[in-house]
Amino acid sequence: MSDAPLVAVLDYGSGNVHSAVKALAEAGADARLTSDRGLLQDAAGLVVPGVGAFQAVMDQLRASRGHEIIERRLAGGMPVLGICVGMQVLFEHGVERGNDTEGLGQWPGVVTELDAPVLPHIGWNTVRAGEDSVLFRGIEDERFYFVHSYGAQSWTLDVMHPFTPPVLTWCDYGAPFLAAVENGPLSATQFHPEKSGAAGIRLLSNWISSLPTGR
């Protein structure tokens, strides 16, 4: 579609990127997997996928200077969507198997192992969508596909008036953890929209519909 908004998927060495590009295109975006810094900076939306260990994803992001793109976009109020470990690295730290790795620090908090009897958390689960969520509009009661052993299990960012508080969506697996966050231009999901069937496509479509026009 000629009027489809341009969504750049950050190509920095993380896996599972092609299914994300395909799902974004199905959801109505002109989706492009790219490492071109100009395209990444200027696209209407940027998607940051992530698969594997927190430390490995952070190493890949820093090696490709992807963290600089994310920071510059957010400083300019330009939308970014993190997926799975692409959500986790937005927090200050990730602790996996005793390794404490510094994250991007966009949000305070630490990503830790889920408090559940069986790990990893694999499969479909419902979520408790936050009030006034854009991502979950019309799909509040749907199920989404998770594959992870770690997550953000608390939220400590205190947003005061006149700033808009973030929309937090929670999921329960052993104990509550954050399934998604919508915080100004920065959104993220712990689950995989691209693996979540029609509900995942609808979520991506909701995000795409919120992107600025003219890019």
Query: Which domains occur in the chain, in start order?
Result: 6-209 (3.40.50.880)
| Catalytic site includes residue 71 | no
Q: Which of 67, 84, 142, 148 is catalytic?
A: 84
**pLDDT reported for residue 107:** 97
Element (H, E) at 23: helix 17-26
Mean pLDDT by 10 residues, the chain (215 residues): 87 86 98 97 97 95 96 97 98 95 97 97 98 97 98 91 90 98 98 98 98 74
**pLDDT reported for residue 2:** 59
Determine the residue type at 104. L
Per-residue H/E/C for 127-196: CECCCCCCCCCCCCCCEEEEEECEEECCCCCCCCCCCCCCEEEEEEECEEEEEEEEECCEEEECCCHHHC
| Catalytic site includes residue 131 | no
| Catalytic site includes residue 192 | yes
**pLDDT reported for residue 1:** 45
Q: Which of 67, 142, 182, 194 is catalytic?
A: 194
**pLDDT reported for residue 214:** 57
Contact at 8 Å (CB) between 53 and 29? no
- Token pair 């900076």: residue: 41
- Is the bond leading into 120 cis (omega within 30 degrees of zero)? yes
Q: Which of 67, 121, 148, 192 is catalytic?
A: 192
Sign of CA dihedral 162, 167, 69, 55: positive
